[in-house]
Amino acid sequence: MPGFVPKDPRFEARVRASFAQQRVMDTIGASLTRVAPGEIVIELPFREDLTQQHGFVHAGIVTTIADSACGYAALSLMAPEAAVLTVEYKVSLLAPARGERLVARGRVLKPGRTLTVCWADVAAHDRGAGRPVATMLATLMAVHDRADVQAGT
């Protein structure tokens, strides 16, 4: 990965504070385990209540952690006053998501002033070994007017 230089010297504290406000991450039990310029890791322990009818972690949950990994990877390189919103993403589900925990690693591919392109991979880990279960390509937007973000416009 390229050595990105964040625009905000306090990017890690800002990313961690924002993640702590995400109620969905708390609801599903996900945690932020790595914050670096342009790279984020989110981990999710397996829970029965997050599974679909076959006992695999639901694709919506897998997508949720991948989207957040991409979003925070992008935010880590944005200006201090910026917020981030997902514009679009494409997910490929590679295998059933089962194991002791899921690990989503989001990385910036191309940072931009307004749009940033990121990639995430999600792996299921069981007894130390990980196997890929999903990959995501996402476009994220820097939003500089936080009133717009709060109003949803």
Within a 10 A sphere around the Cβ of 109, how many other Cβ atoms?
Answer: 16
Whether 2 is in a domain gets the answer no
Whether 126 is in a domain gets the answer yes
Whether 55 is in a domain gets the answer yes
Whether 129 is in a domain gets the answer yes
pLDDT given at position 96? 96
Q: Are 30 and 67 in contact (CB under 8 A)?
A: no
Task: Write out pLDDT tens, residues 25-53.
Answer: 999 999 999 999 999 999 999 999 999 99
Whether 36 is in a domain gets the answer yes
Q: Is pLDDT at 151 greater than 60 in this prediction?
A: no
Whether 80 is in a domain gets the answer yes
Task: Write out pLDDT tens, residues 63-112.
Answer: 999 999 999 999 999 999 999 999 999 999 999 999 999 999 999 999 99
Q: Are 130 and 123 in contact (CB under 8 A)?
A: yes
Burial class from Cβ neighbours inside 10 Å (0-12, 13-18, 19+) for residue 58 reads middle
Q: How confident is the model at residue 62 (pLDDT cuts 50, 70, 90)?
A: very high
What value does the mean pLDDT of the chain take?
94
DSSP 8-state code for residue 100: S
Task: Write out pLDDT tens, residues 99-148.
Answer: 999 999 999 999 999 999 999 999 999 988 899 999 999 999 999 876 65
pTM: 0.92
Full domain range(s) for residue 147? 11-151
User: What is the count of structural domains for the chain?
Assistant: 1
CA–CA separation, 41 vs 117, rounded Å?
17
Whether 37 is in a domain gets the answer yes
pLDDT given at position 153? 44
What single string gives the DSSP state of each residue in 17-58? HHHHH-HHHHHHT-EEEEEETTEEEEEEE--GGGB-TTSSBP
**CATH (domain of 58):** 3.10.129.10
Whether 5 is in a domain gets the answer no
How many Cα neighbours within 13 Å face the side chain of 43? 10
